[in-house]
């Protein structure tokens, strides 16, 4: 079991192995992460048939009885997001029809999260729509990691446990013992996230990048609020998509005299041209977690991938045993 300065994980493997009512099932989205979670819990992933018909329709069949069981379905809704969402709905429905006692959708990454409000007329609030669909499919509760905005928790009409992967990154940074650290928010909207990160990183000072977004996935950096000259700047965000925001932020930090620039994010979405931007040499290191699968062709020398499997596994166990989840982060 991992022990750290920021997480309290309890040794529970033996009691988990003795519990016959807990079941773990995995979709296709990130099987390696699901296997790591299962290893932490001392369990095997439940046997399933997952396939596609010739017309692209998804088929799922659970290969063991789950009647009366508490089932945890692990499925980040990442690219291809619509396929992975549909597979999640089908798995939930299969569990419901198989008389599972409780169905928990474990979402290491929640797709469509950025469509969390209307910014113009005649738009959909897709984050709410997806929440409705998960509930309608038959999920009894949701376990999500680092939602894009806190308000998404209120979009679900079923219980939701929201956990954060930042302690895994913070422990890694503390072990590096970096000098003169300043935590930087890449935009005003991420200030609360960066402030909480800085507090856990030995109360490091905070800086903010002021930018103007002119279109989706296009960001124009304007200036830096705070002192970064001669410091080790750590840019903190919840996700890296095309890498435009965080790479432009790194460039202006360098221009303002930052000695080193690190990028930290929980979700490595890495849509083109993210790899070219992140590997351009502007970052000392790009630190992400494995909530999403990162294929070999998207890896580069500066990339560091940390695992959140133990954190998710411990949370699953605490939810199953009806113990406190928030106490892990104290």
State how far the Cα of 156 lies from the Cα of 129, in Å rounded to an integer: 10
User: Is 211 in the active site?
Assistant: yes
The residue with tokens 């030995």 is 202
Q: Which of 118, 211, 231, 304 is catalytic?
A: 211
The three-state DSSP-derived secondary structure of the chain is CCCCCCCCCCCCHHHHHCCCCEEEEECCCCHHHHHHHHHHHCCCCCCEEEEECCCCCEEEEECCCCCCCEEEEECCCCCCHHHHHHHHHHHHHHHHHCCCCEEEEEECCCCCCCCCCCCCCCCCCHHHHHHHHHHHHCCCEEEEECCCCHHHHHHCCCCEEEECCHHHHHHHHHHHCCCCEEEEECCHHHHHHHHHHHHHCCCCCEEEEEEEEEECCEEEEEEEECCCCCCEEEEEEEEECCCHHHHHHHHHHHHCCCCEEEEEEEEECCCCCHHHHHCCCCCCEEEEECCCCCCHHHCCCCEEEECCHHHHHHHHHHHHCCCCCHHHHC
Which residues are identified as catalytic? 211
């Amino acid at each position: 079991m991992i022990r750290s300065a920021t997480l309290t994980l309890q040794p529970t493997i033996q009691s988990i192995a003795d519990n016959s009512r807990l079941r773990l099932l995995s979709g296709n989205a990130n099987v390696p992460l699901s296997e790591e979670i299962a290893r932490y819990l001392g369990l095997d992933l439940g046997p399933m048939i997952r396939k596609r018909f010739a017309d692209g329709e998804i088929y799922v069949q659970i290969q063991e009885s789950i009647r009366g069981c508490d089932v945890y379905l692990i499925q980040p809704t990442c690219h291809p997001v619509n396929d992975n969402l549909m597979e999640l709905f089908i798995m939930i429905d299969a569990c419901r029809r198989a008389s599972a006692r409780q169905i928990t959708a474990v979402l290491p990454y929640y797709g469509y999260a950025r469509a969390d409000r209307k910014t113009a007329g005649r738009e959909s609030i897709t984050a709410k729509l997806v929440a409705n669909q998960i509930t309608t499919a038959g999920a009894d509760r949701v376990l999500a990691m680092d939602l894009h905005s806190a308000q998404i928790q209120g979009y679900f009409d079923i219980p939701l446990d929201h956990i954060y992967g930042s302690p895994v990154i913070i422990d890694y940074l503390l072990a590096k013992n970096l000098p003169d650290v300043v935590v930087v928010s890449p935009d005003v909207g991420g200030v609360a996230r960066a402030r909480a990160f800085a507090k856990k990183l030995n109360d490091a000072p905070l800086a903010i990048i002021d930018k103007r977004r002119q279109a989706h996935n296009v960001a124009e950096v304007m200036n830096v609020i705070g002192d970064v000259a001669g410091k080790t700047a750590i840019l903190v965000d919840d996700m890296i998509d095309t890498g435009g925001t965080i790479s432009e932020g790194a460039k202006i930090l360098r221009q303002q005299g930052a000695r080193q620039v690190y990028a930290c994010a929980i979700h490595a979405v890495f849509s083109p041209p993210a790899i070219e931007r992140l590997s351009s040499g502007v970052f000392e290191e790009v630190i992400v977690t494995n909530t999403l699968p990162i294929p070999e062709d998207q890896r580069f020398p500066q990339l560091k991938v940390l695992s959140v499997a133990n954190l998710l596994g411990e949370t699953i166990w605490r939810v199953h045993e009806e113990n406190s989840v928030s106490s892990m982060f104290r």
